[in-house]
């Protein structure tokens, strides 16, 4: 039996702010239980739903030194869907309305968490062969393991993996503060370790000291070795290229299933979508106050409204896009200028554009089910889950060829009759517009071809199974 510990700052269903929570919640369930004992450790946040906090059982507590502080470390436990979850309890660090606030407080919080992850292991009697760390919040786990913990025989031979879900977020602050917070010695604050451009950098520490580094798509794994996508760590990622690989994320095929999804009014599958899917469109048009027309092409957008997702291109072209024979349905929150931009277009093109500026899981499912196409022209995209959800619901993605979008959406080729969506290469508003127009043309003039594309999209398998096998392979290789 191989023991693996997932160290993460969020996991579904306990706490979620982004895609990381989906990965940390879904992936552990997909490993072969005969060979792998996968457990998960995360903070116990005050902002978690009471129903979850009520189900946690207190195991024990102790005190741990970090920096100049001596901190309480409580350990809570819960078994959920066959997986053992441990929660680090500390009301000083994990209070507040959201898991994250801002630096340097977040850095102190997750330095504490990373050190606590290691400190609790002998206490709970679980010795992992591998600690699988996710994003900058757990970047210090490999660093602390390399540091004092190595003096304890319990920790000898434990391997670490650093998975990068988004390189943009690194956990950075000035060296002096990071040194105070972490209690790490001068040795670690050199450019070949935690120091990056005169600052202390948690993620960099993780990348340097982990035995293997992964990211969430093969293309992103290549891209981050270049200055454009490398977020100033491309040099380091090139140096670690032999230990860097991309494993694409999946989605939970039980939750995202148009045959059974309780959030959508009309169920359908690969055989029935030609008749049934459109009923979801009509229902959504009614719900959102759009013109009720089964034949109009509906384009969905569900996203954080940030530059990363290509909203400057959309803002630039929105008026143009609306000149076409399309309806646009937007669900998202984020930067104010984009929220206001969509509110404006909802007003200007009332009946053809609907913008909902909030977070609504169930509505997102109805949009995936109802739309004909899904627009996602990202500037960069480590993996992206929305396009996978779209494919599953027979909604054809229109994407920019970057990161995970490039790896999961196969562009339509009208000569060969292949492809599952539409894509363009350069980060250019006109290229995006042309691609949308091309999709419209196929939708209206060649519905047979469109529907065949939907057939192919729905036949794709982006469940976790494929990716879990690749992680298993890597675990086996690392443990030897
Ligand atoms: P990222 O993690 O970079 O935000 P992903 O495409 O990987 O982007 O995942 C985003 C997830 O969040 C998708 O499941 C998407 O449906 C969901 N989502 C984003 N915004 C909203 C919203 N306002 N309401 C409901 N779901 C949303």
Residues 317 and 435 in one domain: yes
CATH of the domain at 224: 3.40.50.2000
How far is 233 from 203, CA to CA, in rounded Å?
10
Q: Which atom of ligand 1 is nearest to the CA of 368?
A: 16
Could you tell me if 450 and 319 lie in one domain? Answer: yes
Asked if residue 294 and residue 228 are part of one domain, the reply reads: no
Query: Could you tell me if 413 and 310 lie in one domain?
Result: yes
**What is the Å distance from ligand 1's center to 163 Cα?**
20
pLDDT tens sequence for the chain (480 residues): 999 999 999 999 999 988 899 999 999 999 999 999 999 999 999 999 999 999 999 999 999 999 999 999 999 999 999 999 999 999 999 999 999 999 999 999 999 999 999 999 999 999 999 999 999 999 999 999 999 999 999 999 999 999 999 999 999 999 999 999 999 999 999 999 999 999 999 999 999 999 999 999 999 999 999 999 999 999 999 999 999 999 999 998 988 999 999 999 999 999 999 999 999 999 999 999 999 999 999 999 999 999 999 999 999 999 999 999 999 999 999 999 999 999 999 999 999 999 999 999 999 999 999 999 999 999 999 999 999 999 999 999 999 999 999 999 999 999 999 999 999 999 999 999 999 999 999 999 999 999 999 999 999 999 999 999 999 999 999 998
Nearest CA to 181 out of 199, 158, 163 is that of 199
What distance separates the 2 farthest-apart alpha carbons in the chain?
70
Q: Please report how many Cα atoms fall inside a 13 Å half-sphere around the Cα of residue 472, on the Cβ side.
A: 18
**R_g (Cα) of the chain, nearest Å:** 23
- Structural domain contains residue 265: no
Separation of alpha carbons 307 and 296, rounded Å = 29
Looking at the structure, tell me whether residues 240 and 287 fall in a common domain.
Answer: no
Burial (CB < 10 A; 0-12, 13-18, 19+), residue 468, is: buried
Instruction: Please tell me whether residues 229 and 134 are part of one structural domain.
Output: yes
- The answer to whether residue 374 is domain-embedded is yes
Same domain, 279 and 241: no
Q: Among the atoms of ligand 1, which is closest to the Cα of residue 308?
A: 3
Best residue for ligand 1 mutational test, from 216, 374, 386 (most atoms within 8 Å of Cβ): 386
Give me the pLDDT at residue 288, please: 98
Shared domain check, 279 and 225: no
Nearest CA to ligand 1 atom 8: 384
Same domain, 229 and 316: no
Structurally, the chain folds into a number of domains equal to 2
- Residue 359 Cα to ligand 1 midpoint, Å, equals 9
| 267 is a domain residue | no
Residue carrying structure tokens 């492809």: 419
Whether residue 261 lies inside any domain: the answer is no
Closest ligand 1 atom to the C-alpha of 386? Answer: 6
CA distances from 333 to 286, 305, 309, 311, 358 (A): 23, 5, 12, 12, 5
- 386 CA distance to ligand 1 middle (Å): 6
Angle between helices 273-288 and 447-459 (to 10 degrees): 100
Q: How far is the CA of 19 from the centre of ligand 1 (A)?
A: 7
107 in the same domain as 94:
yes
Ligand 1 centroid–CA 424 distance in Å is 22
Residue nearest to atom 13 of ligand 1 (CA): 386
Asked if the structure places residue 33 within a domain, the reply is yes
pTM of the model: 0.95
Residue 263 lies in a domain: no
pLDDT (tens digit per residue) in 449-473: 999 999 999 999 999 999 999 999 9
Sheet with 326-334, strands from edge to edge, namely: 353-356, 326-334, 297-305, 373-376, 396-400, 422-424
Rounded CA gap, 233 and 207, in Å?
10
Rounded alpha-carbon distances, angstroms, from residue 450 to 105, 158, 195, 259, 443: 51, 51, 51, 21, 6
The DSSP bridge pattern shows strands 326-334 and 159-164 to be unpaired
CB within 8 Å of 135: residues ≥ 6 apart: 8, 9, 20, 163, 164, 165, 166, 169, 203
Q: Which atom of ligand 1 is nearest to the CA of 331?
A: 23
Residue 480 is predicted with a pLDDT of 86
Q: Which residue has the tokens 């050199």?
A: 190
Ligand 1 site residues, Cβ closer than 6 angstroms: 18-19, 302-304, 331-333, 359-361, 364, 384-386, 389
Tell me how crowded residue 139 is: count the other CB atoms within 10 A of its CB.
28
Which of 303, 357, 392 has the most ligand 1 atoms within 8 A of CB, as the residue to mutate? 303
Rounded to 5 degrees, φ, ψ at 143 are -70, -50
Could you tell me the distance, in angstroms and rounded to a whole number, from the CA of residue 99 to the centre of ligand 1?
17
Q: Is residue 240 part of a domain?
A: yes
> Is residue 354 domain-shared with residue 416, that is, in the same domain?
yes
Q: Are 26 and 44 in contact (CB under 8 A)?
A: no
Tell me how far the alpha carbon of residue 333 lies from the centroid of ligand 1, in angstroms. 10
Calculate how far, in angstroms, residue 196's C-alpha sits from the geometric centre of ligand 1.
30
Q: How far apart are CA 375 and CA 257, in angstroms?
A: 20
Q: Please give the structure tokens belonging to residue 383.
A: 């993996």
147 plus 229 within the same structural domain: yes
In a domain, 73, yes or no: yes
Q: Which residues constitute the domain of residue 278? A: 273-461
């Amino acid at each position: 039996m191989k023991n693996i510990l997932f160290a993460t700052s969020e996991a579904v269903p306990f706490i979620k702010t982004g895609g990381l929570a989906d990965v940390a919640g879904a992936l552990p369930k997909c490993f072969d239980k005969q060979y792998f004992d996968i457990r998960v450790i995360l903070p116990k946040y005050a902002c978690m739903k009471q129903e979850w906090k009520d189900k946690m059982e207190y195991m024990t507590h102790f005190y741990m030194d970090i920096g100049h502080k001596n901190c309480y470390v409580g350990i809570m436990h819960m078994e959920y869907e066959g997986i053992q979850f441990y929660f680090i309890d500390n009301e000083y660090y994990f209070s507040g309305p959201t898991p994250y606030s801002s630096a340097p407080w977040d850095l102190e919080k997750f330095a504490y968490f990373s050190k606590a992850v290691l400190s609790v292991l002998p206490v709970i009697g679980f010795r992992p062969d591998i600690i699988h760390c996710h994003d900058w919040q757990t970047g210090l786990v490999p660093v602390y393991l390399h540091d004092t913990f190595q003096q304890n025989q319990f920790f000898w031979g434990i391997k670490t993996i650093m998975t990068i879900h988004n390189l943009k977020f690194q956990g950075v602050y000035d060296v002096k503060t990071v040194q105070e917070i972490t209690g790490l010695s001068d040795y670690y604050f050199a450019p070949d370790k935690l120091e990056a451009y005169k600052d202390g950098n948690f993620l960099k520490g993780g990348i340097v000291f982990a035995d293997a580094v992964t990211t969430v798509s093969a293309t992103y794994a290549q891209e981050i070795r270049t200055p454009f996508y490398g977020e100033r760590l491309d040099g380091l990622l090139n140096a670690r290229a032999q230990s860097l690989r991309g494993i694409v994320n999946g989605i939970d095929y039980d939750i995202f299933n148009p045959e059974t999804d309780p959030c959508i009014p009309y169920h359908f599958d690969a055989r029935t979508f030609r008749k049934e899917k459109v009923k979801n469109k009509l229902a959504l048009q009614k719900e959102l106050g759009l013109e009720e027309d089964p034949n109009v092409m509906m384009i969905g957008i569900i996203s954080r409204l940030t530059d990363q997702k290509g909203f400057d291109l959309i803002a630039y072209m929105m008026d143009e896009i609306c000149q076409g024979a399309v309806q646009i349905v937007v669900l998202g929150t984020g930067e104010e200028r984009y929220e206001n931009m969509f509110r404006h277009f909802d007003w200007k093109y009332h009946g053809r554009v609907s913008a909902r500026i909030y977070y609504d899981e169930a509505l997102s499912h109805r949009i995936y089910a109802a739309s004909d196409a899904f627009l996602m022209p990202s500037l960069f995209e480590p993996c992206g889950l929305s396009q996978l959800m779209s494919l599953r619901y027979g909604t054809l993605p229109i994407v920019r060829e970057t990161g995970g979008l490039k790896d999961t959406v196969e562009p339509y080729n009208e000569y060969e009759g292949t492809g599952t969506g539409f894509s363009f290469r350069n980060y250019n508003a006109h290229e995006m517009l042309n691609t949308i127009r091309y999709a419209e043309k196929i939708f209206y003039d060649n519905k047979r071809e469109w529907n065949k594309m939907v057939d192919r999209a729905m036949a794709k398998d982006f469940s976790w199974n494929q990716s879990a096998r690749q992680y298993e392979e890597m675990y086996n290789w690392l443990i030897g």
